[in-house]
Amino acid sequence: MALKALDVYKLLPKKNCKECGDPTCLTFAMKLASGKADVDLCPYLDEEAKSVLGATTRPPIRLVKVGVGERSFAVGEEFVLYRHDKTFYHPPGILFKVSDTWEPEAITSATVRVRDEFFTRIGTDLRFDGIAIENTSGSPDSFARAVSVVEESADLPLVLMASNMEALNAALIQVGSYQPLIHAATKENFREMCAHAKKHSCPLVVKAQRLDDLTALVKNCVAEGVKKLVMDLCPQFPGDFITTSTAVRQLAITRAVPDLGYPVFIDATDPHLQDAKIALGIVKYASVIITPPLSAASAKAALTLRQNIYTDPQKPIQMNPGLYRVGSPGKDAPVLMTVNFSLTFFTLQGYLESTRVPCFMLIVDTEGLSVLTAVAAGKLNETLVRDSIKKFEVEKEVSHKTLIIPGYSAPLSGRIEEATGWKVMVGPRDAAEIGEFLHQEWKKTKDQKQ
């Protein structure tokens, strides 16, 4: 089990020398305890303390980087079996697979898609992470050619899938310096594979169906000097993947079998069960997911599921505060104020769009807290509303001064009126009822004016 901060502190020199970069040993201890610092940073630890601390404070699933510099992604550094226990930290890389038996145009097209395609959700651009090239032909020349076709079109993180050493070599000559992920080392070929991996400092996939074989393979590769490892569990069926991946995760995080503490690989290419495998990979701990070039619908759904599962449950995603338009609101359009918690924003926006009433959404900065929480914590208050109205120049956009506030912020209505000089209408508690509210209450005020 991981050590607690106090226990870590006890093993530190307690000099507060600041050489690790932190002001006190206490701070360093807390970071170590949450796996957020490298034990090597402390120059005054003896080897024994270091190994005890290192073993128990480094992330149970090691961090592995695929690629270099800009063309890379990092996976691993995970601590929990359930995202709700803390969070999942590094979203899996999802890569399109191309085969060296394909026509060059097909290879290029897939590469260009990964290079250019993205899909924006909640202010984030979601994209795929690289290209996997498979030596289906077995021929070194075909493989080398395929690799060069990919390289012509983009600088992406790569996975090289070959069991023929010559083919692998041919590919590595071209792209070895970009540290592609090599798939895969087995009981039979690990020495050669490790040699190749070591030569270019590439991360290496190790592949075995049984856990004890996998553990042995890991040990062997580490002994050969290759520490950046990713594990292919060789599941026979999707159900197997769930079972094995869960076992691996559990054994790693309890540190029962530290040698299984590496990111997991899954090849989701399957004529019938591709989307199922991708989804399973995302929710059941896969860190590298290989897929065929996906349809637009599959792509969007997969990227969204990945984004959802890898969101920190304790850190709500926030919108940028501001004045947002729904449709083309004019000078007499309603202004609806709410918080910048993304779920609130999108839920309200969705309902507003379906009412077809053009309006403004005034999104205030409650640091991502929901309406109820923000009101209870005092983060949503009349000062914030007043300042937001000023900052986003709402009074320039509309000729009226009526603000609709969420139902749960009713206790603030009077104070908001006083602070802003605007009239406040208390809207429904449930965003689903906003349509009815606008069509009845808002309409009433408009009619009254006329």
Partner 1 sequence: MVYDLNFGWNGAIGQVILGATRAEGGTRNISYRIGGGTTLPFLDGNPSSPSPLVALEICDNPEYWSPIIKNYCGDLVDNVHEWATAAEKIYKADLVRLYLTSTRQRNFSDISSVGKTIETVLSATALPLIIEGSNEPKIDSEVYLKCGETAQGERLLLGTAEAGRYRSIAAAALAYNHSLIAQSPIDVNLAKQLNILLREIGMQRDHIMIDPYTGALGYGFEYSYSAMERIRFSALKGDTDLAMPVICSAIDSLNIKEVREGDPALQDEMAIQWEFYTGIAAAVAGAEIICVRHPKTVAMLKNAFSGMRSGSGSSEVKE
Partner 2 sequence: MITKINHSLSYDETAYHLPISFALTGIAVHDQKAALDVFEKTASNPLVASECILAEKTAAEGREPVPYTGFIDDTIIRKLGYSLVDGSILGLALVVGTPPGADSASAICRELQEKYMLTFLAGDIVGTLSHAGVKLGLEYRLIPLGSKPTYGIHFVDIIARVAMMFGGVTPGDISRLLAYAKERAKAIVIVFPGLSDQEIAFVDGMRVLGFPILSLGDYHGGDWIPASPDDVVRLGMEQKGIKVNVTAIPIPMGCSPAFEGKSIRKEEMYVEFGGGRSPAFELLRMRPAEEVTDGQVTVIGPEIGSMKEGAAYPLAIMINVAGKMMKKDYEPVLERRIHNFVNYGEGSWHVAQRDIIWVRISKEVVAKGVKIEHIGKLLASKFRMDFPQLLDAVSVTLLTDEVKVLEAKKDAEKVYAERDARIKGMRDADVNTYYSCTLCQTFAPNHVCVITPEHPALCGAISWLDGKIAFEIAPSGANQPIEKGAVINTQNGEFEGVNKFVKKASHGEIDRCSLYSVMEYPMTCCGCFECIALMLPEVNGIMVVNREFKGITPSGMTFSTLAGTIGGGAQSPGFAGISKNYILSDRFLQGDGGIDRLVWMPSQLKEELKPQLVKKLADRNKSDLFEKIADETIATSIEDLILFLDRVKHPSLTMKPLV
* Closest by CA position to 366, among listed 349, 352, 346, 381: 381
- Minimum CB distance to partner 2, residue 270 (Å): 35
84 near partner 2, rule: CB under 8 A:
yes
273 near partner 1, rule: CB under 8 A:
yes
Q: Can you tell me which of 182, 282, 288, 361 binds partner 1, judged by CB under 8 A?
A: 282
Q: Which residues within the stretch 304-363 sit at the binding site for partner 1 (CB under 8 A)?
A: 304-305, 307-309, 311, 313, 343, 346-347, 349-350, 353-354
Contact string 195-224 vs partner 2 (x = CB under 8 A): ------------------------------
Residue whose CB is less far from partner 2, 239 or 414:
414
159 near partner 2, rule: CB under 8 A:
no
Strands 124-126 and 119-121: antiparallel
331 near partner 2, rule: CB under 8 A:
no
Q: Which residues within the stretch 12-31 sit at the binding site for partner 2 (CB under 8 A)?
A: 14, 16, 22-24, 26-27, 30
By CB atoms closer than 10 A (0-12, 13-18, 19+), residue 92 is buried
Give φ, ψ of 402 to 5 degrees.
-120, 130
- Minimum CB distance to partner 1, residue 105 (Å): 23
121 near partner 1, rule: CB under 8 A:
yes
Q: Can you tell me which of 243, 320, 383, 399 binds partner 1, judged by CB under 8 A?
A: 243
Tell me the sheet residues that pair with 204: 182, 229
* Closest by CA position to 319, among listed 419, 386, 382, 392: 392
Q: Which residues within the stretch 291-330 sit at the binding site for partner 2 (CB under 8 A)?
A: 313-314
With a CB cutoff of 8 Å and minimum separation 6, the contacts of 322 are 363, 392
Give CA–CA dist 134/165, Å, rounded: 13
What tokens were used for 408?
């749960």
CB 367 within 8 A of CB 379: yes
Residue whose CB is less far from partner 2, 205 or 375:
375
Furthest CA-CA distance within the chain: 85
# residues near partner 1 by CB under 8 A: 49
Give φ, ψ of 243 to 5 degrees.
-60, -50
# residues near partner 2 by CB under 8 A: 35
Q: Can you tell me which of 239, 330, 350, 414 binds partner 2, judged by CB under 8 A?
A: 414
448 near partner 2, rule: CB under 8 A:
no
Alpha helices per DSSP H over 203-333: 211-223, 238-253, 274-283, 296-309
- Minimum CB distance to partner 1, residue 445 (Å): 23
Interface segment toward partner 2; rule CB under 8 A; list 7-15, 71-79, 243-251, 257-265 = 7-15
Give CA–CA dist 410/425, Å, rounded: 9
